[in-house]
Amino acid sequence: MIYGYIYKLFCLDTREMYIGSTINLKKRIQNHKEMRNTNSKQIINRNNYIFLILKEYWFVNTEHLWAIESSYIDNLPCVNKKLALSNRNDTQKKYNQKYKNNNKEKTALYNQNYRKNNINYYKEYSKKFNLLKKECNYCKKYYSASYISKHIKICKSIPSSSV
């Protein structure tokens, strides 16, 4: 078993969404920064994004993590739709398909139970997550806590009639 994360990067500038998975969050963020010209790097470089964990739990193995990740990619309007699949070799693709077909019910049940058992955790998590967003006093829009001070500097220099 491995403890893994499915996460999303959401760019507040372009509304682009990137889905990823990892077993080491810190390392993964670092990797994104070091990558060349990927969608995820562009999102991070624009520095106005939300990082949100969509799911975290004990996965059977890496392939299980990938299978769940790819089901997110399939179902969400994210920028890495094609990338994630082409980055993976055929064996992995076949495994994903086989896994999905063989484990539809099992995974659904597992997810259902997981959600049931963790509903309070999710509530707490989204509460905390909402706290990370800060409202700009000038334009009344919401920005990530890490970006808001930068934004305010720009925002307050713009005459309010043009906002």
Shortest Å distance, C-beta 85 to Zn ion: 38
Shortest Å distance, C-beta 49 to Zn ion: 17
Q: Which is nearer to Zn ion, 83 or 155 (CB)?
A: 155
Q: Which is nearer to Zn ion, 61 or 137 (CB)?
A: 137
Give the N- to C-terminal CA distance of the chain in Å, as an integer: 51
Q: Which is nearer to Zn ion, 52 or 136 (CB)?
A: 136
Shortest Å distance, C-beta 149 to Zn ion: 11
Q: Which residues contact 94 (CB under 8 A, 6 or more apart)?
A: none
Q: Which is nearer to Zn ion, 114 or 138 (CB)?
A: 138
Shortest Å distance, C-beta 29 to Zn ion: 26
Q: Could you write out the DSSP letters of every residue in 45-75?
A: HHT-EEEEEEEEEEESSHHHHHHHHHHHHHH
Residue 24: C-alpha distances to residues 10, 42, 73, 90 (Å):
19, 21, 19, 25
Whether the CB-CB separation of 45 and 34 falls below 8 Å is answered with no
User: Which residues are at the interface with Zn ion (CB under 5 A)?
Assistant: 136, 138-139, 155
